[in-house]
Chain A
Amino acid sequence: MEVAVISGKGGTGKSSVVASLASISKNILLADCDVDAANQYLLFQPNHSEEEVFVSGQKAEINYDVCTQCGKCIDYCEFGAISEVNGRVEISEISCDGCRLCERICPVNAISMLDNDKSRLYSGTFRYGHMVYGRLAPGEENSGRLVSLVREKAKEIAKENNYEVILYDGPPGIGCPVISTITGIDKVIIVTEPTLSGKHDLERALETVFHFRIYAMVVINKYDLNAEMTEEIKQYCATMNVPVVALLPYEPVVTEAMVNGKSYVEYVPESIVSKNTLNIWKNIQNEIK
């Protein structure tokens, strides 16, 4: 079974909850799909048994020995990436989308494509099983494709090693890497917080999840920071037929655990936040049977 934890809004505590769920499971395939800002490896320090290069895309480059400055590429580029700078046709690396159209239409073949090859896909073992994660090099794109590869790798390893659950730590937002994370999976857990922003982003995250017809559950983290808003979110979830499977209190010890390289369930197993997290795991397990 594939389960993803997402949040819409960043910083709701999603990764801390995921790390604790992995600790509770004791035997899991954990895959970090937050390829922009992968964090699970920091906590669990996996052994990298495998490292693969991910070509995230390409960038166009002009060979000025050949270029006649005709400017045809400027007219064809839909991304506004090519312009004349100080009398010379230049391609902005930042705006180039790598579509290759300029390369194809250049009358003198002065444009070639360079691979963006700084991103990586890692896999290995950690204290509760196997871990797969991707790291998108800063500024590179195609995070959705890298997420798909993380998932393919995760499924492959899970099959070889008979893992019952693949747990994905999802990226924030609702765009391409999130869509890649949740497409075709069994269950999504959305971690939110009792703030106006948290609720607003939860609504958009749920809309995305429904769009792809996936079963959703909600966790309200730091629920005691605003009891009124927690109530509002619970009401909202009830009207959407989405179960709220756990309320987690704000506890500074959650951060302390992270600083000490542990999940909070490992660090303070007897705390309320840890005990309530057990409930999330039970809800995941119910589905396995």
Chain B
Amino acid sequence: MTDKIQKIKIAVASGKGGTGKTFVATNLFYAMQHANLPATIVDSDAEEPNVHLFISGSLEKSFEITQKVPVIDEGMCTHCGRCHDYCTYNAIFHVPSMHVIKVMEDLCHGCGACFVACNDNAISEKQSLLGTVSRYAVDATHALVEGRTKVGVYSSVKVIKSSIAEADADPFVLFDSPPGTSCPFIQTANLADFVVLVTEPTPFGLSDLKQSVEILREMNKPLGVIVNRAGIGNRDVYDYLGKMNLPLLMEIPFSREIALAYSKGKLISAIDQLWLEKFQDLYKTLIQQSWK
């Protein structure tokens, strides 16, 4: 089946945290499920994955994401310092005069330069745990893939990439992206056909939206905007959308009903027919936009 239809990947993202990415992604997923359209939701906000609070399924598989880190055999090491010089991440601590050499695993990016640097066969590799990727079956044609970084790990990029790769064969994929505009966000957006930016009509929301738009335009990614908590703040976000010729895909007013449902881990589309219809309209728009 997957080969006969166009594959679509949509990233739901935001520069500012807490604007409602997860809210949009989970309700969109529910609306598609309700219409019997196959969909996979990937929680690539691996530092704080929350989709599982709203969508549950049975665990199909789970695997560990690791990274290679060097192990230095002090008996073999001649303290030449080449591995220390090759390491761009300052992950090898070396005091030649005291014959001290130590790997700071937290700082290691697993680039492999130290293995190449060592001429004395003193460096071997081991795997260090970064996190896990799990796949849950929601029903026959719907799945949740979750990336979850281990607490204390510096970078979630490899876990994010692995979670996205896990859903690669699926026909319709929604990413709940990590916030911000740095590496984790870029890695997610880069693999999407279309990016939905969720913002709020406040000065903070607008400032962060501008940054996201700037980088996505640079990447030539088609994008649209959802204004959440419409009615608070001011009109500046709308002026900006007009000026930049950005499609306003949806407005979600601030409502205690929505806030309360969300706080309990409930989907508003499952409670309120009106919202179900709005999210069904949204995925229709998104599918059209992704084909452009």
- What residues of chain A have their CB less than 8 Å away from a CB belonging to chain B? 7-12, 15, 36-37, 39, 42-43, 58, 76, 78-79, 94, 97-101, 104-105, 136, 138-141, 143-144, 171-176, 179, 193-198, 200-201, 204, 207-208, 211, 222, 225-226, 229, 252, 255, 258-259, 261
Contact = CB atoms under 8 A, between A and B. Distances in A.
Interface of B: 15-20, 22, 47-48, 50, 53, 68, 86, 88-89, 109-113, 116, 149, 151-156, 178-184, 186-187, 190, 202-204, 207-208, 211-212, 214-215, 218-219, 232-234, 256, 259-260, 262-265
A204 B57 CA distance: 22
B186 A139 contact: yes
Given A99-B113, A176-B155, A225-B260, A141 B183 contact: yes
Contacts, number: 180
Given A8-B48, A39-B204, A255-B233, A226 B17 contact: no
B53 A197 contact: yes
Contacts of B187: 94
A78 B19 contact: no
Given A39-B207, A140-B182, A104 B154 contact: no
B113 to A, nearest CB: 4
Closest 4 CB pairs of A and B: A10-B17, A11-B18, A99-B111, A138-B215
B111 A200 contact: no
B113 A141 contact: no
B238 to A, nearest CB: 14
B234 to A, nearest CB: 5
B20 to A, nearest CB: 8
Contact of B202 (A79, A136, A255): A255
Main SS at interface, chain B: loop
B202 A259 contact: yes
B221 to A, nearest CB: 11
B111 A195 contact: no
B181 A200 contact: no
Contacts of A136: 181-182
A200 B207 CA distance: 27
A197 to B, nearest CB: 4
A225 to B, nearest CB: 5
18 contacts: A9-B18, A9-B48, A15-B204, A94-B187, A98-B88, A99-B88, A100-B86, A136-B181, A138-B214, A139-B181, A143-B182, A172-B180, A173-B178, A179-B154, A195-B262, A225-B259, A229-B264, A258-B204
